[in-house]
A and B are shown apart, each in its own frame.
Chain A
Amino acid sequence: MEAILDIRGIRKNYEDLVVLDHLDMQVKSGEVVVIVGPSGCGKSTLLRCINALERIDDGEVVLDGKVINPQDKQLSKVREKIGMVFQSYELFPHKTVLQNLVLAPVIVKKMDRKEAEKEALRLLERVGLLSKQNNYPRQLSGGQKQRVAIVRALMMNPEILLLDEITAALDPEMVREVLEVVLDLAKEGRTMIIVTHELSFAKAVADRVVFIDGGRIIEEGEPGDFFEHPKTERLKKFLHSFAYE
């Protein structure tokens, strides 16, 4: 099957620091790729390079056969197709939940407001937050905010969803409600790249797990092999560091 996202040899430096070192990666339509790796290894940077929130120093990112060019005037058109949810809650504080959800479809996609609201309510119901539609973000718990943030990304009907440690800032009892939404999306056949430190979640959701260290892919594989029979020393060491926490 054809890759919908093709990352070709991207390199990213911050001055002397090489964060991504000629990294290649393909994602097929409907595939769920989980990225793991030590803190600071460049996972967030990789996701941010994919939708051109960061400039890349070399290589290219190709979505649907088209190169994503940060200088492109049509960049926002490309970004519509890439949904992203960050670690910190980033809902728009001056808008209610419902307004947060319909803003981008109405403004960016010129969707009919009534139609957008209908879709928003349908998705809110799915994540169990229908009753919060008129609340402001400050009135929601962290887990609820992240579920709304996921729905907000889904509202644009993206071709690929990038999730960057979306449960890392949550209290433990809220992690599950968010991850269940993501599992649900995986079942539905959404294409996703997920960065997470929740290894048991990674096992459950991933079609393929990728281990990054030092800005390169060190090892990758389907979750069974990846977690049970790691081949490289670095991955063994990394997985071991989680064992007796």
Chain B
Amino acid sequence: MGFEVLLKGNNLARLLGGLGVALKISLLSVCISLILGTVLGSLMNDRHPLIKGVLRGYLEIVRIMPQLVLLFLAYFGTTRVLGINISAQTASILVFSFWGTAEMSDLVRGALSGIPPIQYESSMALGFSDFQTLVHIIIPQIVRRMIPLSINLITRMIKTTSLIMMIGIVEVLKVGQQIIEANRKSDPNAAFGIYFTVFILYFAVCWPISKLSRYLEKKWEA
């Protein structure tokens, strides 16, 4: 079946290491996206037409652009044209954060505009200050709406990390290819065993995460 290669040398450890690289890049990007997205999302409700216009434009561009194009642009483009030498990992974190920030800001904008004005008013009427209203009434409601959605974004990012091998990062899929390549003669069935294992690894990571998001969504549905 081709699973034997896994036990050869440190192949399984290498696969797991590749998965680690993918997870590290997506987690870092999610953290950056969460912070920047929250700031931008709050600004999107701003009445200033210029700020609004720029942010909408940014969101549209990110939506339209395939992530791979962004990756090539950030990695190969900057090195040649701008003369900046960034590592492949930095480039992918940049691109993933650029993408995640856009998505996250739209989620924050949506969550914020989904809070009825009467929530602010009834809080004020009870004597809460603006700050207390934000901390005790508004933010907890935003967070409840946001967490399931942002978890969703995390799984999408983890899946999309399979693209970063195209700019030379040795993540789990690339490690798999290397192993298959190295065992082409001795174990021609390796492809199935390895890709199946990669499938299981992605599943093992993403399934609990998406389960968690489903659970929180249920728990907090208003």
**Chain A residues with a Cβ under 8 A of chain B:** 51, 53, 76-77, 79-80, 82-84, 86, 88, 90, 92-94, 103-104, 107-109, 136, 138, 149, 152-153, 156
Contacts and interface: CB of A to CB of B under 8 A. Distances in A.
B60 to A, nearest CB: 32
Contacts of B63: none
Nearest to A48: B121
Nearest to B129: A76
B144 A94 contact: yes
Given A94-B144, A103-B136, A107-B136, A76 B121 contact: no
22 contacts: A53-B125, A76-B124, A76-B132, A79-B127, A80-B127, A83-B125, A86-B118, A88-B116, A90-B118, A90-B121, A92-B119, A92-B141, A93-B222, A94-B140, A94-B141, A94-B144, A107-B132, A108-B126, A108-B127, A138-B222, A152-B126, A153-B126
A94 B137 CA distance: 8
Interface in B109-157: 116, 118-119, 121-129, 132, 136-137, 140-141, 144
Nearest to A73: B129
Contacts of A153: 125-126
B122 A86 contact: yes
B127 A86 contact: no
B164 to A, nearest CB: 38
B119 A76 contact: no
Query: What's the dominant secondary structure at chain B's contact region?
Result: helix
Interface residues of B, number: 20
A84 B222 contact: no
Contacts of A149: 122
B126 to A, nearest CB: 4
Contacts of A108: 126-128, 132
B220 A79 contact: no
A127 B152 CA distance: 43
Contact of B127 (A77, A88, A93, A136): A77
A46 to B, nearest CB: 15
Contact of B119 (A77, A90, A107, A152): A90
Which 4 residue pairs are nearest across A and B when measured between Cβ atoms? A80-B127, A90-B122, A104-B126, A84-B125
Contacts of A104: 126-128
Contacts of A156: 126-127
Nearest to A81: B127
A53 B140 CA distance: 23
Given A80-B127, A94-B141, 9 more contacts: A76-B129, A82-B125, A84-B122, A94-B140, A103-B126, A104-B127, A107-B128, A149-B122, A152-B126
